[in-house]
Amino acid sequence: MKTLTPQQIEDQLTEHIPHRLCLLVTFRDRQDWFRKRVGSMDNDLLRVSKDSTLIAIRQFADFLGFHLDNGKLVPESKEPKGDDVRVDMLGGDVVDISKLGSDEALLVGLLKRGSKELAHLTSNYTRHDDFNTAKALIDGITLIETLLRKHLYEKLKLPFPNLLDEKYLRFDEWNFPDGPKSPTTFVK
């Protein structure tokens, strides 16, 4: 197994994983914000958050040590490539997919949807419509969050990031064509 420096582990736990957790949970945890903005131009952010949820589920599945292969969840048998990071490199445990039970079908459906809808342009991904519902996405978010708690944060005896109170991660402003903007510029 590839070894990370203490600083790389710290960066993963304090910056990279919390950022990706925001991608994972925004669709579930910001529903009221989106609901209030229906009809406004930024309502498309709900669509973006749905897709970011599917991307994050794929990222965290890989991070937790499993992936989809021919329509089935399989453990990741290879060492992480290049600079890829997996949960066991941070001191956590990979997920034993044989213990997922009925949750396995949910993950398979969401991973298929994420693959067909986001990672590849395909002629037809409607076979996965059962997993294109708010309930399926929220259940998937909650499942991945539970797996991360159990296999990383509880194992390391660390508090789970409080994402609802998390304002911004590391960056104070973004550069746009018309100049830098602070995140507070967008909050209304």
Going from N- to C-terminal start, the domains of the chain cover 6-163
- pTM (2 d.p.): 0.80
What gap in Å lies between CA 119 and CA 34, rounded to an integer? 25
Residue 1: Cβ within 10 Å count: 8
Tokens of 3: 């070894």
What gap in Å lies between CA 182 and CA 61, rounded to an integer? 32
What gap in Å lies between CA 138 and CA 26, rounded to an integer? 10
Question: How does pLDDT run across 147-179, given as a tens digit for each residue?
Answer: 999 999 999 999 998 776 554 444 445 556 666
Report whether pLDDT(143) > 80: yes
Identify any residues that bridge with 176 across adjacent strands, giving them in sequence order: 179
* Residue tagged 């294109």 (tokens): 132
Question: How does pLDDT run across 106-123, given as a tens digit for each residue?
Answer: 999 999 888 877 766 665
